[in-house]
């Protein structure tokens, strides 16, 4: 009798879930209507939006959070009561060999679609992070899913119409690694009077490892690296630092340590020039690398715990912390991008030489 009751309850929830899916699916309209394109305004807005402004999804303790880099564009995207976002959870088990994919012919979702979150809740609940990015909770991963086996796709709704479907894999985009090259003259036009420093700008990226609990770096620590970059003819205008800490320790301690490291590196770099450097700092705990590093090791069981539980285990089991330290050590580093421009003294010499050659060429002609 008890088994029958449990089976009945299970079936009830499955039917309820399916009914809810059908209800929300039926409310979502396609982009085309007899009156024209429902997504015309959305397409117009997106076409005028910089390419590096895009949605990201992060998941912590099953809480699904939407990240968007521009508050202004976020408000423009969701200015109607029925503009919203829905999360589509894709389980890799859907595509197992010999298994029927119940979502194969589904529309608009390709997996389990969570309830859409519309304008009023989005604009009421979002917060700005320290990096001035929009962060808003948009759903919760059901316990029937294993976090490492799913991806989170996004349905963008405009007035209940599906205007975009964006796939993500839970990894934040590293836009700065795709650096745009400037346009440069292949020949010097005779009308040009002199060169400006914008013709001699460049960017370089590198990585600095951190020692455990070390947050202070002086110019002596940085100088060998600085010299190896061969940038003595340039000055640094901006520095972009993504700092990663290992996962042990409290979030507050790690956040403080990462900012201290970044500020220390910037101060050390500023000693090589007179101008101030504009900093851009983004701290993060290195959970992604941690999860990958412990796979197929004796520590793999830690992947079954939440982040909070892992921190608790590492803080109380000192023997474990000592054994796992070689793995943690590899997760403490900073990815750094320097924006550089030619020093004014070098530019002045270059322009002097340019004027001399131009006058010489005029005499020859």
SS3 of 294-337: CCCCCCHHHHHCCHHHHHHHHHHCHHHHHHHHHHHHCCCEEEEE
Q: Specify the pairing of strand 234-245 against strand 278-285.
A: parallel
Per-residue pLDDT of the chain (365 residues; tens, 9 = 90+): 444 444 444 444 444 444 444 455 556 777 776 556 788 888 888 887 776 677 888 888 888 999 888 888 899 989 888 899 999 888 887 877 777 776 666 777 788 888 889 999 999 999 988 778 899 999 888 888 888 888 889 999 988 888 888 887 544 444 433 344 444 444 544 444 544 444 456 778 878 888 888 777 766 667 766 676 656 677 788 888 888 888 898 888 888 888 888 888 888 888 878 888 888 888 888 888 888 889 889 998 998 888 889 999 999 999 999 999 999 998 888 888 888 877 765 556 655 555 545 555 555 55
pLDDT of residue 200: 53
pLDDT of residue 355: 52
Tokens of 43: 């397409």
Written out in words, the top-level CATH class of the domain with range 38-166 is: mainly beta
| Cα 51 to Cα 48, 148, 173, distances in angstroms | 9, 28, 11
- Is residue 310 within 8 Å of 247, Cβ to Cβ? yes
pLDDT of residue 318: 92
Domain with CATH 2.60.40 in the chain: 38-166
pTM of the model: 0.43
- Is residue 209 within 8 Å of 333, Cβ to Cβ? yes
Q: Which long-range contacts (CB under 8 A, 24 or more apart) does 125-128 make?
A: 126/74, 128/71
- Is residue 277 within 8 Å of 283, Cβ to Cβ? no
**CATH number, span 175-286+331-360:** 3.30.1330.60
Q: CA 358 to CA 338: how far, in whole Å?
A: 33
Q: Quick one: CA torsion of 240, 244, 245, 250, rounded to 10 degrees?
A: 80
pLDDT of residue 333: 86
Instruction: Count, in order, helices (H) and strands (E) of the chain.
Output: 10, 15
Strand partners of residue 334 = 208, 243
- 280-295 burial, b if ≥16 CB within 10 A, otherwise e? ebbbebbbebbbebbe
pLDDT of residue 20: 43
């Amino acid at each position: 009798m008890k088994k029958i009751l449990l089976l009945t309850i299970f079936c009830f929830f499955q039917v309820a879930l399916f009914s809810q899916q059908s209800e929300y699916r039926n409310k979502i309209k396609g982009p085309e209507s007899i009156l024209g394109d429902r997504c015309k305004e959305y397409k117009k807005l997106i076409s005028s939006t910089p390419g590096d402004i895009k949605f990201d999804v992060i998941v912590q303790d099953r809480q699904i959070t939407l990240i968007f880099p521009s508050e202004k564009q976020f408000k423009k995207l969701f200015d109607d009561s029925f503009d919203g976002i829905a999360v589509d959870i894709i389980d890799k088990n859907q595509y197992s060999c010999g298994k029927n994919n119940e979502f194969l012919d589904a529309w608009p979702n390709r997996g389990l679609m969570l309830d859409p979150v519309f304008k009023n809740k989005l604009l009421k609940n979002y917060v700005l992070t320290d990096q001035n990015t929009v962060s808003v909770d948009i759903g919760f991963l059901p316990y029937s899913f294993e976090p490492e086996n799913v991806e989170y796709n996004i349905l963008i709704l405009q007035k209940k119409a599906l205007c975009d479907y964006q796939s993500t894999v839970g990894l934040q985009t590293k836009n700065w690694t795709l650096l745009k090259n400037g346009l440069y003259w292949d020949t010097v036009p005779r009308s040009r009077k002199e060169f400006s420093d914008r013709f001699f700008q460049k960017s370089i990226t590198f990585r600095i490892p951190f020692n455990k609990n070390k947050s202070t770096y002086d110019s002596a620590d940085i100088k060998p690296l600085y010299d190896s970059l061969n940038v003595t003819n340039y000055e640094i205008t901006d520095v972009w630092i993504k700092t990663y800490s290992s996962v042990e320790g409290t979030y507050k301690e790690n956040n403080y340590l990462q900012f201290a490291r970044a500020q220390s590196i910037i101060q050390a770099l500023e000693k090589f020039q007179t101008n101030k450097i504009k900093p851009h700092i983004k701290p993060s705990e290195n959970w992604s690398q941690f999860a990958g590093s412990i796979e197929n090791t004796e520590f793999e069981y830690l992947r079954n715990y939440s982040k909070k539980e892992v921190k608790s285990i590492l803080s109380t089991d000192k023997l474990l912390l000592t054994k796992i330290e070689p793995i943690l050590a590899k997760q403490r580093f900073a990815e750094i991008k320097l924006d550089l421009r030619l020093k004014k003294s070098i530019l002045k010499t270059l322009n002097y030489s340019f004027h001399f050659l131009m006058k010489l060429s005029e005499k020859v002609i």
